[in-house]
Amino acid sequence: MSVAVYWANITVTTSSKRAHFGNEIIEVVSELEAGLRGVLSFNRVIDRAQWNSAQAKLSHTLFNYPLLTVEQKTLIKNIQASSKSLSVLFAYLIDIEPGITKTNQELRRHLAERLYVQMDAIVENSHRLTLIAQDDISKTINRVTVGIVVLLFILAALMTIFALHLGAYISGSITQLTSAMKQVAKGELDTRVEIKGTDEISKLSLDFNQMTKQLMEMTTARDLLQHEADTRSKELNFLAHHDALTGLPNRLLFDTLLGQSLKHAKRNNEGVAVVFMDLDKFKNINDCLGHPIGDELLKTLAGRFKATLRNIDTVARIGGDEFILLIEEINQIKGAEVAIEKVISIFDEPFLLNGYEIMITASIGISLYPRDGEEPSVLIKNADAAMYHAKDEGRNSFKFYNHQLTKNAFDKVFLETALRGALSKNEFHLEYQPQINIEHGHVTGMEALLRWNHPELGFISPSIFIPIAETNGLIHDIGSWVLLVACRQGKVWLDAGLNFGRISVNISGLQITKAGFCKEVSEVLLSSQLPSENLELEVTEGSIMKDTEQATEQLKALRSMGVMLAIDDFGTGYSSLSYLKKLPIHRLKIDRSFIIDIPKDEDDMVIAEAVIALGDALDLVVIAEGVENEEQLLFLKERGCHVAQGFLFSKAIAVEAMTEYLQREKDQVNLLAE
């Protein structure tokens, strides 16, 4: 009997260790969850470090797990496979820059969802390991109990025989032991037998009491371990489906609730609204006041949501400053508008946080079931598209989804993909439009204009693809290519004895504020051997105003190199005259929108005349764009404009045609000289 008890102790101890190892794995997954949430919300180095630390801890725990059964080995292999998947998925996730494009955001969301699936798999397998260990404990206790009961019944039978010879003492003792064994068999493990003496029967009672005491301790330990595992499992389940900061449901739980809601709505012929919300300029709060203030604002906002929404509605936090709402029993757009206005009212009152009074707004997109989709993913995607439409129109508003948004988004993604390969596929080329001196009619310069001829879509306007290139960062590579090709062509014309004055290249605002841009221009001039005085760079008025100090420093450096500088589209931005006076520029270009309706539009005539006068006052050469007829040219000449550019002289033409144009002008000049 003592050997059985000793064996039970060893088995229960080993199983308890395995159960604790399962709980340790679950706790490590909790740390991974916290690190992932930090990366998704803030993408800080400390969050990545927390993830890597938890990943290493998980590997160490798996390495030291005491294996026994084939099933346990299989579960550990499954956990190790999920752990490797976590490493790969997380590596992809941190390589994707957050917040730059919608595509990046979708990729990050998808990878995050896959990471949660793998972590759920680890939790599930770990929980199964714990259950196996607990089952081992229960089986051990049952086996020991049955074994002891059998032994005791055998002993009871033997003692009954002896009782025939040993009298009433033995008979009474055996009766006590038999009764006690029946009670133990019923589960009453606190049963004790009191037989005084020093004989074998009294020693047997002591062994019985010691056995029931140990069984009681093992059962208590098992129950405590089960309680701890159940509690931890509930906590991890909550963390896996809720946002740790606000306590709101996360994306995984929201998807589940939305699916259930759509089934209910279909059965009852009801509508559902999915509302995608993004806080406007929330990053400024984190940057200026710190992340703790930003976190408090999010928690306070979550409280306002809970106080405002109905019990049947749901709000979830799915990103740093992104929330998604599920509003049920919506049967028409008017009902959705009433609900959204109620949500927007949450932002009417300022947030009082740590002594700061903060006002914040939100951009909101709404999709409706079944009008805008019948699947959860479709409704969420469409609400997201509508939200971006609200942002594009100035923020602090809400927009309902329409099918044109999906088409526009698809077209944008298609163009962005095509744009990435346009340079390597030689789909770009330059055309040149001459700039004419109004006084004597000769070429004083020309503007290099980028053209994209897609093999399937044909000619694509720069007004369409340049903003896309600026959004995804391709503008730097494209701009460098334009600058190099234009300078090389300028050198070819100079070597051929063709005078073109200066070649003007348009520069994006992102390029002019990029560190090292001046060095890039210098290297291009050196590579192409084009004299700096034959190069002019055009920057728009609006791009300079976005970062005036940085742009001014770059422009000064370029001017010191001998490069000519011009402000393009003047009059369409919001520049200050005091800043304009400080800019190291040589020329102003009047935007074509102020020229095209001259002489019919008197307002345009007044504006053009004012810009010409301003240029004269600042000793700047003024160029008028978009000149298409003699009346416009005469007006500009009478007002003292220096240079004109437009279809009246020539449209933008290919390099071969421009070479012929310059050659004809050279021949005319030589002819007049003779």
User: Residue 337 pLDDT > 90, yes or no?
Assistant: no
Look at the block and give the residue holding tokens 């959705």: 336
Least confident of 170-179, 265-274, 318-327, 586-595: 170-179
Sign of CA dihedral 158, 159, 162, 163: negative
- Looking at the structure, do residues 189 and 256 belong to the same domain, yes or no? no
- Could you read off the pLDDT of 88-108 as tens digits, one per residue? 777 777 777 666 677 777 777
Look at the block and give the residue holding tokens 């030589």: 670
In this structure, what CATH number is given to the domain that contains residue 299?
Answer: 3.30.70.270
- Looking at the structure, do residues 259 and 231 belong to the same domain, yes or no? no
- Domain membership of residue 651 (yes or no) is yes
- Looking at the structure, do residues 45 and 112 belong to the same domain, yes or no? yes
- Looking at the structure, do residues 501 and 601 belong to the same domain, yes or no? yes
Per-residue DSSP letters for 52-104? HHHHHHHHHHHHT----SHHHHHHHHHHHHHHHHHHHHHHHHHHSPTTS-HHH
- Domain membership of residue 407 (yes or no) is no
Query: Residue 449: pLDDT band by 50, 70, 90 thresholds?
Result: very high
- Looking at the structure, do residues 294 and 437 belong to the same domain, yes or no? no
Q: What is the phi/psi pair of residue 453, to 5°?
A: -110, 95
- Looking at the structure, do residues 225 and 271 belong to the same domain, yes or no? no
Residue with the bigger pLDDT between 42 and 244: it is 244
Residue with the bigger pLDDT between 35 and 167: it is 35
Q: Is 3 exposed, middle or buried (0-12, 13-18, 19+ CB in 10 A)?
A: exposed
Please compute Rg for the chain using Cα positions. Answer: 40
What pLDDT is attached to residue 485?
Answer: 96
Q: How far apart are the C-alpha atoms of 155 and 138, rounded to whole Å?
A: 25
- Looking at the structure, do residues 442 and 530 belong to the same domain, yes or no? yes
- Looking at the structure, do residues 191 and 215 belong to the same domain, yes or no? yes
What pLDDT is attached to residue 575?
Answer: 53
Q: What is the phi/psi pair of residue 479, to 5°?
A: -60, -40
In this structure, what CATH number is given to the domain that contains residue 444?
Answer: 3.20.20.450
Number of domains in the chain: 3
CA distances from 486 to 173, 270, 504, 528, 647 (A): 112, 62, 8, 9, 21
What pLDDT is attached to residue 479?
Answer: 93
- Looking at the structure, do residues 157 and 299 belong to the same domain, yes or no? no
Structure tokens given for 564: 């000519």
Q: Of 127, 99, 429, 119, give the one whose Cα is nearest residue 282.
A: 99
What pLDDT is attached to residue 290?
Answer: 87
DSSP at 242:
B
- Domain membership of residue 534 (yes or no) is yes
- Domain membership of residue 419 (yes or no) is no
HSE value, Cβ hemisphere, 13 Å, CA-based, for 652: 12
Residue where a domain stops, chosen among 220, 241, 262: 241
Q: How far apart are the C-alpha atoms of 415 and 220, rounded to whole Å?
A: 67
User: Residue 576 pLDDT > 60, yes or no?
Assistant: no
Residue where a domain stops, chosen among 241, 273, 308: 241
- Could you read off the pLDDT of 348-385 as tens digits, one per residue? 888 888 888 888 889 998 898 888 888 999 999 989 98
**Residues facing 449 on adjacent strands:** 431
Task: Tell me what percent of the residues of the chain surpass a pLDDT of 70.
Answer: 82
Least confident of 228-242, 288-302, 512-526: 228-242
- Domain membership of residue 246 (yes or no) is no
Q: How far apart are the C-alpha atoms of 466 and 425, rounded to whole Å?
A: 18
- Domain membership of residue 303 (yes or no) is yes
- Looking at the structure, do residues 141 and 186 belong to the same domain, yes or no? yes
H/E run at residue 348: none
User: Residue 206 pLDDT > 90, yes or no?
Assistant: no
- Looking at the structure, do residues 623 and 529 belong to the same domain, yes or no? yes
* 83 Cα distance to chain centroid: 23
User: Residue 306 pLDDT > 60, yes or no?
Assistant: yes
Q: Of 182, 169, 147, give the one whose Cα is nearest residue 7.
A: 147
- Domain membership of residue 88 (yes or no) is yes
What pLDDT is attached to residue 567?
Answer: 87
Q: What is the largest CA-CA distance in the chain?
A: 154
Q: How far apart are the C-alpha atoms of 568 and 507, rounded to whole Å?
A: 10
H/E run at residue 292: helix 291-308
Contact of 205 with 194, CB cutoff 8 Å: yes
User: Residue 4 pLDDT > 60, yes or no?
Assistant: no
What is the rounded average pLDDT for all residues in the chain? Answer: 81
Amino acid making up residue 146: V
- Looking at the structure, do residues 505 and 381 belong to the same domain, yes or no? no
Alpha helices in 548-650 (DSSP H): 548-560, 577-582, 602-617, 630-638
Q: How far apart are the C-alpha atoms of 198 and 201, rounded to whole Å?
A: 8
Domain hosting residue 510, numbered range: 425-673
- Domain membership of residue 572 (yes or no) is yes
In this structure, the strands spanning 362-369 and 587-590 are unpaired
Q: Where are the beta strands (DSSP E) in 520-604?
A: 535-540, 564-570, 587-590
DSSP at 279:
E
pTM of the model: 0.51
